[in-house]
């Protein structure tokens, strides 16, 4: 069955109102795409201003900055408690959109929206549920990933699938190049999905939980390279963490951060590093780890 009855005409779309939940740049870019398509939220909910920079000045989130520029009402609750839910519910919106908001939705909040909460997730669900789907795909050496628009439920990233788009991962591509592609694709897919969803022309598809995998939050120590690991495994770790925690190793007791690397002839080649307490410098050499063992065991 469709998610809700078909409206008598497309004019009803303009009468449906929504709340937008999001915080970082990925969420502001997605909101910008929705605004360009004529989807203007009645309310934006984002994280409170946070200290940033050397001076630790309180700074609004990218989503808040965009909402301020567009004169959209804003809420910045510290947590999604009863008071926050009541404040959001007072707007009486029909549905919500959530992109990288940063907080788990309680069931009481999801229940406030008669048409549900739509979420953009940067993997082909049910694979790589969790906080780091892009990193998970690169770590595993995947050759394909994608984005999913799902209908949010209490369990993290376990909602029915409304739309998916596949993306080929290029052999030399790191998170630094792949992430912008997925962000742009996710924004477009969401904007394309909203009209047919809201008119009842999309039938949600339940996820196959037997195929679900998870990708958890990153810790700085996750970026430590293992000299006993296959070269391709260290290469994939470099690719996955290139725009976040980065990768490093220890030499003579000092931490060496890798800034540029490549994978050539089965070897993980470190090209530029930042030694602890020093500046970036060139250092073309192979990282001595185990011989290459790819996904096929060779």
% of the chain surpassing 90 pLDDT: 83
Residue 50 has pLDDT above 80, yes or no: yes
Please tell me the predicted confidence (pLDDT) of residue 68.
Answer: 98
Residues 6+ apart with CB under 8 A from 210: none
Residue 33 backbone dihedrals phi, psi, to 5 degrees: -65, -45
Please tell me the predicted confidence (pLDDT) of residue 292.
Answer: 46
For the chain, the structural domain boundaries read 220-286
Residue 232 has pLDDT above 50, yes or no: yes
| Range 180-191 average pLDDT | 98
Other CB atoms within 10 A of residue 51 CB: 9
Residue 284 has pLDDT above 60, yes or no: no
Per-residue pLDDT tens over the stretch 75-85: 999 999 999 99
CATH superfamily of 220-286: Formyl transferase, C-terminal domain (3.10.25.10)
Say if CB 274 and CB 283 are below 8 A apart.
no
Least confident residue range of 11-20, 114-123, 181-190: 11-20
Alpha-carbon distances, residue 86 vs 71, 89, 108, 109 (angstroms) = 22, 5, 10, 9
């Amino acid at each position: 069955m469709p998610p809700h009855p078909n409206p008598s005409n497309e004019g009803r779309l303009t009468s449906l109102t929504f709340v937008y939940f999001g915080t970082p740049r990925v969420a502001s870019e997605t909101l910008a795409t929705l605004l360009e398509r004529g989807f203007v939220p009645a309310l934006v909910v984002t994280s409170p201003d946070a200290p940033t920079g050397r001076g630790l000045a309180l700074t609004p989130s990218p989503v808040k900055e965009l909402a301020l520029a567009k004169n959209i009402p804003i809420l910045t609750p510290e947590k999604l408690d009863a008071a926050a839910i009541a404040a959001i519910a007072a707007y009486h919106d029909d549905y919500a959109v959530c992109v990288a908001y940063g907080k788990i939705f309680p069931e009481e909040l999801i229940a406030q929206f008669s048409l549900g909460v739509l979420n953009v997730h940067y993997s082909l669900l049910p694979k790589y549920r969790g906080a780091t789907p892009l990193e998970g795909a690169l770590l595993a050496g995947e050759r394909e990933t994608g984005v999913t628009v799902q209908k949010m439920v209490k369990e993290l990233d376990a909602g029915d699938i409304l739309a998916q788009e596949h993306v080929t991962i290029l052999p030399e591509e790191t998170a630094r190049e792949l992430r912008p592609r997925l962000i742009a694709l996710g924004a477009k897919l969401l904007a394309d999905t909203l009209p047919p969803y809201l008119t009842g022309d999309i039938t949600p598809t339940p996820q196959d939980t037997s195929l679900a995998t998870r990708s958890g939050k990153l810790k700085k120590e996750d970026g430590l390279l293992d000299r006993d690991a296959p070269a391709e495994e260290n290469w994939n770790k470099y690719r996955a963490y290139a725009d976040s925690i980065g990768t490093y190793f220890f030499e003579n007791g000092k931490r060496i951060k890798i800034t540029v690397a490549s994978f050539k002839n089965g070897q993980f080649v470190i090209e530029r590093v930042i030694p602890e307490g020093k500046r970036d410098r060139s250092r073309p050499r192979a990282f001595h780890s185990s011989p290459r063992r790819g996904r096929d065991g060779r």
